[in-house]
């Protein structure tokens, strides 16, 4: 809920319908620093890792549904917005 309020507040746009985050979307957008480090080197809790990875997948799906971009030509814009939103979150 907190993530959706954040996205609506920063993008000022609502998705056309409910968002469904599939496991495929979740796995396709990993945060490599959080996912592939050994557990001994992780300074973050499991809750933080889950929230960061879910926010990454949610923002990706949110941007795909609210912005009408050509993903082949304008991928840099959606990726840049995802990074910006993640830093602000």
Over the stretch 63-87, which tens digit does the pLDDT of each residue have? 877 777 777 787 787 788 888 888 8
State residue 86's pLDDT score. 83
Over the stretch 11-32, which tens digit does the pLDDT of each residue have? 776 666 666 676 776 666 666 5
Query: CA-CA distance, 63 to 60, in Å (whole number)?
Result: 5
Over the stretch 25-57, which tens digit does the pLDDT of each residue have? 666 666 656 666 676 766 777 787 778 888 888
Residue 81: partners with Cβ closer than 8 Å, 6 or more residues away: 59, 63, 67
State residue 63's pLDDT score. 80
Query: CA-CA distance, 67 to 3, in Å (whole number)?
Result: 18
Mean pLDDT of 2-6: 76
Task: Delimit the domains of the chain by residue range.
Answer: 2-32+42-88
Angle among Cα 67, 81, 30 to the nearest 5 degrees reads 105
Angle among Cα 1, 9, 69 to the nearest 5 degrees reads 100
Token pair recorded at residue 3: 């993530």
């Amino acid at each position: 809920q907190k993530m959706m309020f954040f996205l609506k507040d920063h993008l000022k746009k609502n998705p056309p319908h409910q968002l469904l985050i599939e496991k495929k979307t979740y796995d396709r957008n990993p945060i490599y620093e959080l996912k592939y480090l050994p557990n001994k080197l992780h300074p973050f809790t499991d809750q933080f890792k889950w929230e960061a990875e879910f926010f990454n997948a949610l923002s990706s799906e949110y941007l795909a549904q609210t912005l009408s971009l050509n993903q082949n030509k304008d991928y840099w814009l959606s990726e840049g917005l995802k990074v910006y939103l993640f830093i602000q979150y």
